[in-house]
Amino acid sequence: MVEMYRGPESTRQPATYRVARAGVGVAELLGGAGWDHAMAITWGPEGLATTFRAVWHDEGIAVRWDVQDRAPWATRTRRDDCLWDTEVVEVFLDPTRSGEDYAELEVTPANVVCDLHIERLAPERRVHLEWDFEGLQTRVHRAPGSDDWTAIAWMPFADFASLSARVAACLPVTAGDSWHFNAFRIKRPGGPERPEDGAVYAAWSVPDGPTFHAPSFFRPLVFAPAPEDT
């Protein structure tokens, strides 16, 4: 049975996440530069906290997770494998704010990814594991002398159009547009031998049930203008 982590910070999270305009190119973002002005949100237990940031260009959105960790592990090596059974960071992005036709991205400490299209959850669950961000780029950086790690992902807006015609109608993104989203982390201290022992399921906006797929708990993600445009 999955039990969500609920710490004191869960009730202090902002209602809206504002995505800052990127000031550098995609290569620099993937390398770890150009994130200082991005809004940071942090959640998770002491010593295993996760900090999420996002920035955007006209062409796409970049997201970043900075992860406090102890003995991270990864056993899956293929894209779109069942990464949710291992240790991952995740983000759900819902351009139509409907709880349908949203994208899910997972990244492991070994930079293996799973991306999928959640068409709908009810009355019949429809999930498309074959769907991909065709232009997805990801990097994982390990902190020197530490088990901490950082995952960074770039997702072109054009790739979201293939989710559905409704999503395509939300593009291109302009300043002031609002999507819905949530961000997550799964930590499994028991390792690959005992992955459920002490597993930590931590969400930025904590669902009230046993799954991250709870669109009613997604929160607004607003694309902010560049500073000179405000």
Q: In the predicted model, is pLDDT for residue 10 greater than 90?
A: no
Q: Give residue 227's pLDDT.
A: 80
Dig out the tokens for 113 from the structure: 């990814």
Residue 6 makes CB contacts below 8 A (sequence gap 6+) with: 206
Parallel/antiparallel/unpaired status of strands 219-223 and 17-21: parallel
* Alpha-carbon dihedral sign for residues 25, 29, 33, 34: positive
Q: Give residue 1's pLDDT.
A: 59
Distance CA 24, CA 220 (A): 24
Ordered domains of the chain (ranges, CATH): 8-229 (2.60.40.1190)
Q: Give residue 3's pLDDT.
A: 85
Q: Give residue 16's pLDDT.
A: 97
Each residue's pLDDT tens digit, 104-145 = 999 999 999 999 999 999 998 999 999 999 999 999 999 999
Q: In the predicted model, is pLDDT for residue 230 greater than 80?
A: no
Question: How many of the other CB atoms lie within 10 Å of CB of 180?
Answer: 22
* Alpha-carbon dihedral sign for residues 200, 87, 155, 132: negative
Q: Which residue has the higher pLDDT, 60 or 230?
A: 60
Longest Cα–Cα distance in the chain: 53
Distance CA 159, CA 156 (A): 6
Element of type H or E holding 13: none
Amino acid occupying residue 154: W
φ, ψ of residue 167 in degrees (nearest 5): -70, -45
Q: In the predicted model, is pLDDT for residue 229 greater than 80?
A: no
Each residue's pLDDT tens digit, 30-68 = 999 999 999 999 999 999 999 999 999 999 999 999 999
Dig out the tokens for 19 from the structure: 């995505």
Q: What is the pTM of this model?
A: 0.96
Residue 133 makes CB contacts below 8 A (sequence gap 6+) with: 103, 105, 115, 155, 156, 159
Q: In the predicted model, is pLDDT for residue 228 greater than 70?
A: no
Residue 208 DSSP symbol:
S
Q: Which residue has the higher pLDDT, 210 or 221?
A: 221
Distances (CA, A) of 99 to 104, 136, 162, 213, 224: 12, 22, 16, 9, 22
Q: Give residue 8's pLDDT.
A: 87
Angle 195-92-186 (CA atoms, 0-180°, nearest 5)?
15
